[in-house]
Every structure is written in structure tokens, then in C-alpha cells.
Chains A and B, each alone.
Chain A
Amino acid sequence: MEFNTNFGRVRLNPNGPDADAEAGSDAYLGFSIVGENKTDFSVAMAAGVVIGMRGRTPILMAGAATLATVWILTSPVQQGLPIVDDYFYSQSKHNKEVIEGLIGTAVDHIEKIRNNPGSRDVNHWKGEIKAALDRAKNIAERLKGKTKEAIKEKIRELENRAESQ
């Protein structure tokens, strides 16, 4: 018996899973992936496990089949869905590159002040640093998680460096 799944075409072992086979092997699992078609992996998985119930701890196997089905149906990865929306990822990547550009502008001007502390342009450069870092902070608010915190920390560090000059 074969099914189309998210991972390819699955062929069920008519004898069901073999508990004595090597863990993780096709024989142990009771099925093998043989093709490229994609539908519902959970159906094949559950069917394979149910077939394996014959003569073996049926309650345990039925429980395993239920858990496997629920896990597969509720996991975006197992369903072949992206964890994060592509558009969001794209925007996030772009925002990070814009922030890198703004931070680069700030760093360039911090270096200009460091190399020319007596220049008539110091106040202008400080203005450029503040403008770039303020905009970087605004864009950083659109990011999430550790990346956001790491970038905000970097911005704070640059603000401190600029103020100390």
C-alpha cells in the first residue's frame, strides 16, 4: 500500500513495524519513503502504526499512532509549512541590512571624530551619528527576539562611544 505525503510517496510495510529491527530503519518504522509526491504524511504514519498493532501491545501502538498524527498535523514543519512567513522573513532581512547601513554610517562618523577631534565638523558629525542611530533604533523595533536585543545593545554601545568623544 502506498500514500502520497509531505515527504514523498510512502510505501507501507504489510507486516507493520518490526520492533526488533534497527531503530529508525524502514522496517522498524513500518514504512519507507519512495517518491516525491506530497499530501498528508500523517495518514501514512498513522496507517503504518495501526497496521503494526497486530499482535503487539495494541493500546501502546494506538496511543503512538494518535500522538504521531497530532504531532504531524499541528507542526508547521511536518506539514511542510514555513515557520515564518516568507514576506516577513524578507522584510526582516531587509530591515537588518538597512540597520547595518545606518550603523555603518554612525561608525564612519565616530571614526572621523576620533581621527579629527579638533575639526570644525565635529558637531556636524555628531548630528550624523545621532540621526543614523535614531533611525536604526526605530527600524530595530520592527525586529524580534535576540536579533532585536543584540542590535539595540550595539546601538547603545555606539551612542555611548559617540557621547564620550
Chain B
Amino acid sequence: MASKEFMRNKIAAAFAANELDSNIVEDIAFHMTDWKEDLDQLVGVYQNVDSLSDSDIRKAVISFLAHAANTLRLPRN
């Protein structure tokens, strides 16, 4: 997977192409990459679900949702 900074720049460029305000573009790019570590954990659940304990699965899902929920609310604000 590409580095977080590289992804951030690519996402920013993709939304800048829609001529959005630069602050909005920065917000989108920041939030869609800031949760990368939590997303990596969630991907780990998808890949190893058979070998993980209930506790490990809950921890990964909750960590992702704890971070993502705030991000997903932002477009309304």
C-alpha cells in the first residue's frame, strides 16, 4: 500500500480537480488518510478473521469506528 503522505496528496489532487475550496480539499485528504492505521487493523481482521479472538475482532472494529464516525459526520457540518 502506498504511503500515507502519497495517498493524501493523490486524494487532495483528485478533489482539487473538482475545483473545491482548498480548505475542504485539505480536510478530505487529511481525514481519509488519518485513519489509515485503524483501517490497516480492520483489513487485518478481514484477512485473519478465523484466527482472531472475539476480543481482537471487537478491538479492531471499535478502533476503526471510534475514529471513522467523527470523519463520516464531517460532511454534514
Give the B-binding residues of A (Cβ under 8 A).
97-98, 100-102, 104-105, 108, 121, 124-125, 128, 131-132, 135
In the complex, the answer to whether A105 meets B30 with C-beta atoms within 8 Å is no
Interface of chain B, main secondary structure: helix
In the complex, the answer to whether A101 meets B66 with C-beta atoms within 8 Å is yes
Q: Quick one: which of B23-49 are within 8 Å of A by CB?
A: 27, 30-31, 34, 37-38
List, in ascending order, chain B residues with CB within 8 A of A102's CB. Answer: 66
List, in ascending order, chain A residues with CB within 8 A of B37's CB. Answer: 108
List, in ascending order, chain B residues with CB within 8 A of A125's CB. Answer: 34
Min Cβ gap A126→B in Å is: 12
A138–B36 Cα distance when bound, in Å, is: 26
Min Cβ gap B75→A in Å is: 14
Q: Quick one: which of B56-77 are within 8 Å of A by CB?
A: 58-59, 62-63, 65-67, 69-70
Closest to B27 in A: A124
In the complex, the answer to whether A124 meets B30 with C-beta atoms within 8 Å is yes
Interface of chain A, main secondary structure: helix
In the complex, the answer to whether B62 meets A100 with C-beta atoms within 8 Å is yes
Closest to A136 in B: B66
Closest to A121 in B: B30
In the complex, the answer to whether A124 meets B63 with C-beta atoms within 8 Å is no
Q: What are 23 A-B interface contacts by the 8 Å CB criterion?
A: A97-B62, A98-B62, A98-B66, A100-B62, A101-B63, A104-B63, A104-B66, A105-B63, A105-B66, A121-B30, A121-B34, A124-B27, A124-B30, A125-B34, A128-B34, A128-B70, A131-B70, A132-B66, A132-B67, A132-B70, A135-B66, A135-B69, A135-B70
Closest to A127 in B: B70
A98–B66 Cα distance when bound, in Å, is: 7
